[in-house]
Amino acid sequence: MESLYQTGTPFRLDLFRCRSLRDVTEAISIVLEQYSEIFPASKDARILIKPNLNSNMNALTGNTTDLRLLSALVQGLKKRGYQNIVIGEGTNSGFYRSKIGVISRLRVDSLARYYGIELKDLNYSEGREISFAGGVKARVARECLEADLFINVPKLKTHFEVGMSVCLKNLMGCLVGQENKKKTHQSLAENILHLNSNIKPHLHIVDGIIAMDGLGPTRGKPKNMGLIVVGTDPFLIDMVCARIAQFGYRSVTTLKLAEDKGLITKDYHDFLGSLDISSFISRFEEPKANPLASFIHSPKRQKYFLAVRNTRLFSFLASTRFFGYLLFLSGLRQDNFITDDMVCDGLSFDASLCRAGCTKCSDYCPMGLTLPEQIKEQGSPCINCLYCFLVCPTKAIGFKGNLGFMADQLRQYDKITREVA
């Protein structure tokens, strides 16, 4: 596992090259060791892990935080004796409004159950009001303000509105429910900075294992970067990620605004100038929306679109399957809210198709199962995440049951995922 560790007061930064569960576990174990001074002394301390679970598209599509990273992190914390660990995320408001359980679709609930930790959809949290641009007040989840240790675990993604979604943008999931998310959507970059001045995670661990480029945050393409970026300063990490993606950091609107407000100083540039991250650089495709979405979402016109979108009539129409799908097809909506859940009756394995020397299924299994041998084993802790099924290059692993919403993920990503993984 290749890694780079750099420190220079007041910054510190670690980059790890990770391809398999084993690499991720090793990287997290190093992180827990190297950042030990930020970990609370009390084993009862409240630890909040905040992933990006913005969509029901799993980590292999580049959408959401990789279960291998969550699994390794929870295991590492538990090994150090921490008892009070919560995974919390306020999932995408469209799914929330449609009463679709993104957290369970991504199997994060099964993972949490296996490790005996708490899981919280922050959309249903008790909120505390904070101030945003233009005198707007909106509520953020109490857990995000009160955690003794807040670990932000964002996904490395492009974002068609702000350029990139990494540490800074991931805190949007701390807002409680659609009502509060809506209030802050206008002046998005500015409000992301407001959130970051009120909520200050102690540690950021960026999942760039399978990142997303192109039309993020939901409709881009998975990009196998095999990368985890760790540090304590979200501005610095977001700047590093922009450089890795070969985006000028000022094309990321949150970073541009942060610099204009004096939050990014010469120290940041000096530290960045001292870094040699050339071996991690890989150009990302920019998040260009189609002409209609670009026209409507331009900063000048977006407020009119948001005003229409927030009316009752539009909200009602958008909640219908037909109109909602039209919005998805037009590119005005990034997600397709399919209400059919997946029912998995197990996985099958065809040994005649299994390729000698391949280790992909076990590399990707967040539960550390010995695959493919353990696929059909009764009583195994398989959480039906389907990672093994999705990455197998020869389709030796089969699915039994009703795919439900997962059929749409396969329609969009099956071929790409098998190639990229």
Query: Which residues bind to ligand SF4, rule: CB under 6 A?
Result: 354-355, 358, 360-361, 364-367, 369, 371-372, 375, 382-388, 392-394, 396-397
CA distances from 179 to 123, 141, 170, 210 (A): 10, 13, 18, 31
Question: Of the two residues 153 and 375, which places its CB atom closer to ligand SF4 in the complex?
Answer: 375
Give me 244's structure tokens.
Answer: 């890795």
Least Å distance between CB 389 and ligand SF4? 6
299-308: long-range pairs with CB below 8 Å, 24+: 302/186, 303/186, 306/182, 306/185, 306/186
Least Å distance between CB 339 and ligand SF4? 23
CA distances from 147 to 47, 123, 169, 203 (A): 6, 17, 19, 12
Least Å distance between CB 29 and ligand SF4? 21
| Residue 405 near residue 336 (C-beta atoms within 8 A) | no
Least Å distance between CB 350 and ligand SF4? 8
Question: Of the two residues 21 and 162, which places its CB atom closer to ligand SF4 in the complex?
Answer: 21
Instruction: Map residue 6 onto helix, strand or coil.
Output: strand
DSSP state of 124: G
Question: Of the two residues 35 and 387, which places its CB atom closer to ligand SF4 in the complex?
Answer: 387
Question: Of the two residues 286 and 414, which places its CB atom closer to ligand SF4 in the complex?
Answer: 414
* DSSP H or E segment with residue 421: none
Least Å distance between CB 362 and ligand SF4? 7
Least Å distance between CB 313 and ligand SF4? 42
Question: Of the two residues 215 and 397, which places its CB atom closer to ligand SF4 in the complex?
Answer: 397
Question: Of the two residues 31 and 392, which places its CB atom closer to ligand SF4 in the complex?
Answer: 392
| CA–CA–CA angle 105, 110, 112 (5° rounding) | 120
Q: 192, 202, 180: which is closest to 129 by C-alpha?
A: 180
Question: Of the two residues 192 and 367, which places its CB atom closer to ligand SF4 in the complex?
Answer: 367
- Describe the crossing of helices 188-198 and 253-260 by its angle, rounded to 10 degrees: 70
Least Å distance between CB 250 and ligand SF4? 40
